[in-house]
Structure formats: C-alpha cells, structure tokens
C-alpha cells in the first residue's frame, strides 16, 4: 500500500493530515523492522501501547456503524413471509428501469 493511497482513502473520514502522516510513519517504521528481520514481537514486551488518532477515529466509526440500522427489519420480515407463502411478486418493469438507471449512472460517472 502506498502512503498516497492511504491519505486519499482516509480523506472522507474527517481526519487531519498530521494524524494520517503520523500513522503512515509508524507503519513505515514497522515495515522496515520486519524487513530487517526484527519483528515488533522480538522487542521488549514491557513497553506501552498507544493508539494513533486514526485508530481512535476508526473505532468510533465502527461503533456508529454497529449501532445504526442499515435495513428495515419489519419490511424484511414481511418480504420473507410473502416469499414463504408464495405471495411475493416481482414487478419486472420496475426492476428493469432500476437496472437501466444504475447503468446510466455508472457510465456517466465513469466518463465524467
């Protein structure tokens, strides 16, 4: 992974550049030690561990994602029971229109 890719990927997380650079520097240092044959586990185990600001932000985001409902559970249950009862019908015209709109969006964003 390149450092530039990390900065681009983290831009949407609301992280400041200094935090990202600090996290990247720590990763580069760890990678260098591993290449030299020194793994972090070979070093003294009496040291302290501190989390970077990037790690703290990721933990916060993970907690928020776990707490949010991504789907409507009642609607899913209704669809499941309709399928099980043989009463679920698919409007093929609506599905086709949705697919066409998705393809249009993908094509316009690709060539934009």
What digits encode the pLDDT tens for the residues 81-98? 999 999 999 999 999 999
Which residue, among 32, 96, 10, 59, has the nearest Cα to 104 in the 3D structure?
A: 96
**Buried residues in 90-99 as b, exposed as e (16+ CB within 10 A):** eeeeeeeeee
User: From CA 112, how far away is CA 101, in angstroms rounded?
Assistant: 16
Per-residue pLDDT of 9-20, as tens digits, reads 444 555 555 666
Q: Return the domain boundaries, the chain.
A: 3-40+51-67, 73-111
Tell me the two tokens of residue 74.
């009642």
State pLDDT tens for residues 31-79: 777 777 655 555 556 788 888 889 889 999 888 888 887 788 899 999 9
pLDDT at 73: 87
């Amino acid at each position: 992974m390149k450092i530039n890719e990390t900065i681009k990927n983290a831009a949407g997380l609301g992280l400041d550049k200094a935090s990202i650079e600090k996290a990247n520097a720590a990763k580069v240092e760890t990678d260098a030690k591993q290449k030299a044959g020194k793994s972090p586990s070979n070093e003294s185990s009496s040291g302290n561990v501190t989390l970077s600001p990037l790690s703290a932000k990721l933990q916060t985001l993970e907690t928020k994602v776990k707490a949010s409902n991504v789907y409507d559970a009642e609607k899913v249950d209704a669809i499941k029971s309709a399928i099980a009862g043989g009463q679920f019908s698919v409007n093929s015209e609506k599905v086709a229109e949705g697919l066409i709109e998705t393809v249009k969006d993908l094509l316009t964003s690709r060539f934009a």
